Amino acid sequence: MIRALFLSLGDLADPAILRIFAKSIAATLVVFVALGAGLWFATRWLVIDQLDWGETAGTLAAISGFLAMLLFGWVLFRAIAIAVIWLFGDEIVVAVERRHYPAALASPRGVSRPRSLALGLRSAGRAMIVNVALAPLYVVLLVTGFGTPLLFYASNGWLLGADLGEMVAARHMTQVEMKAWYRATRWTRWDLGVLVAALLSVPLVNLIAPILGVAVATHLFHRRTA
């Protein structure tokens, strides 16, 4: 894991990775702005047009809804960031393989953009469902001082490990082969997922964390299969 992490940090300077970083940040911001605008206008429509509470109440409700979205952004950002990175995951894997494992490019299966989008939406939906389901436990464990982050990292590490592993394995393995590979690498992928989940909690670092995670997953995959 340590070797793969240091290799991946070096990969961040690759021009191809930098271009993907710029695209992923732009796409993530577009999604956030769209969600914020949609929540704002939907709340005002509900309060003003449906409940007939007036313009002032509608504006206050919209502001409250927008602030609530920002408050829960630590969960929302993780889901959106991984969903977006699915769109560019194949490009990241190719960039890392071209630099370190050129032989792996000879016979990849590739992941089509529609399938990447479908898998990204599935990943985001799964993350939201799991974190919403665990929300009561997050609140209860706040009294411990450390229980909430531990549960968050453990659960999201599992989710992220599955996503990051699949981004790489889907290029080189059949579904049957992937099942066996999943069983053999469950703890390595969980370690990677916890690392990325922790990085996603750090301001500014969270912007590069998904790309770094895919790069590390690529190195782990090829170093193990080698």
Helix H segments across 45-185?
Answer: 55-71, 73-100, 113-140, 147-172, 175-184
Alpha-carbon gap, residue 64 to 42, rounded angstroms: 12
φ, ψ at 14 (rounded to 5°): -65, 130
pLDDT of 98 strictly over 70: yes
Contact 216, 5 (CB under 8 A): yes
Where is pLDDT greater, at 63 or 162?
162
Alpha-carbon gap, residue 40 to 59, rounded angstroms: 8
Where is pLDDT greater, at 10 or 81?
10
pLDDT of 74 strictly over 70: no
pLDDT of 72 strictly over 80: no
Q: What is the pLDDT of residue 218?
A: 93
Which among 74-83, 110-119, 164-173 has the top mean pLDDT? 164-173
Alpha-carbon gap, residue 84 to 104, rounded angstroms: 25
pLDDT of 26 strictly over 80: yes
Whole-structure pTM value: 0.82
Categorize the per-residue pLDDT at 108 as very low, low, confident or very high, splitting at 50, 70 and 90.
low
Categorize the per-residue pLDDT at 100 as very low, low, confident or very high, splitting at 50, 70 and 90.
very high
Please tell me the least confidently modeled range out of 100-114, 115-129, 152-166.
Answer: 100-114
pLDDT of 217 strictly over 90: yes
pLDDT of 68 strictly over 70: no
What is the share, in percent, of the chain residues with pLDDT greater than 70? 88
| Rounded (10°) CA dihedral 186, 159, 116, 124 | 170
Where is pLDDT greater, at 49 or 96?
96
Categorize the per-residue pLDDT at 44 as very low, low, confident or very high, splitting at 50, 70 and 90.
confident
Name the average pLDDT for the chain.
83
182-216: pLDDT as tens digits: 888 888 999 999 999 889 888 888 889 989 999 99
Which among 49-53, 121-125, 162-166 has the top mean pLDDT? 162-166
Where is pLDDT greater, at 52 or 183?
183
